[in-house]
Amino acid sequence: MPESGMRMNVAVCAAAVALVLSGCGSYGTPEPSPTTTPMAPAPTTTVTVETTVYPTDENDPVSPAPYATASTSAAPAGALSDLLITDVRTGAHDGFDRVVIEFDAGASNSVAWSAGYVTDPRAQGSGLPIVIPGASAVLGVTVHGLRIPNGETVLSGLLDGSAHGGIRGVYLDPVFEGISVINIGLDAQRGFYVFGMEAPNRLVIDIQS
């Protein structure tokens, strides 16, 4: 065989061997498997719900009592419109004085009201000044949704025996156009808190002492 033909055959064989080895290398080495990172657990959220503890007895205090001197009010969606005030009571307790306004019907928080200090209390309709002896400040509590009494006993004027603790007296301005104002005479402006109680339906005003 000529030398040139032998050299060509050797080159072809060498190329074939290289191709086979290349193929073996490609299939013989497996590719690494992809790694997975475990998911971090979702963060937890703690929700704190604040609740106000109302007294279970008329003489029990509210704890904690959010006293304030600023005017405040409440107008519940289901506020009644035919209530009658049947009684007003006052009392001195450890750390607070209390005024209780009782109604003839309704459940707790069914009364629309507003409360705040007044500098010149006057009677509805007549406009005459309201005088509470010994009072240096007057807290006015306006109650809405009252009916005109029809033969029932009506509380009005300066209520006998209503002075207790820092309370110098309570003057009840009778119903006028569905509204009555309970004027609470105090020895000084103090923080107050208004809330409802039921069985029977009552509006309670606690005054810091």
Domains, the chain, ordered by start:
72-208 (2.60.40.3500)
pLDDT, position 81? 86
Q: Which residues contact 156 (CB under 8 A, 6 or more apart)?
A: 172, 173, 174
pTM: 0.73
Which one, of 88, 93, 45, lies nearest residue 174 by Cα? 88
Query: How many degrees, rounded to 5, is the angle at CA 41 between CA 35 and CA 44?
Result: 165
pLDDT, position 177? 94
Strand partners, 89: 100
pLDDT, position 79? 86
- DSSP H helix total and E strand total for the chain: 1, 10
Each residue's pLDDT tens digit in the chain (209 positions)? 444 444 444 444 344 434 433 444 443 445 555 555 555 554 444 333 333 445 768 989 888 889 999 999 999 888 888 999 999 999 999 999 999 999 998 887 789 999 999 999 999 999 999 999 999 999 999 999 999 888 888 899 999 999 999 999 999 999 999 999 999 999 999 999 999 998 899 999 999 99
Q: How many residues does the chain have?
A: 209
CA dihedral 194, 127, 172, 72 (to 10 degrees): 0
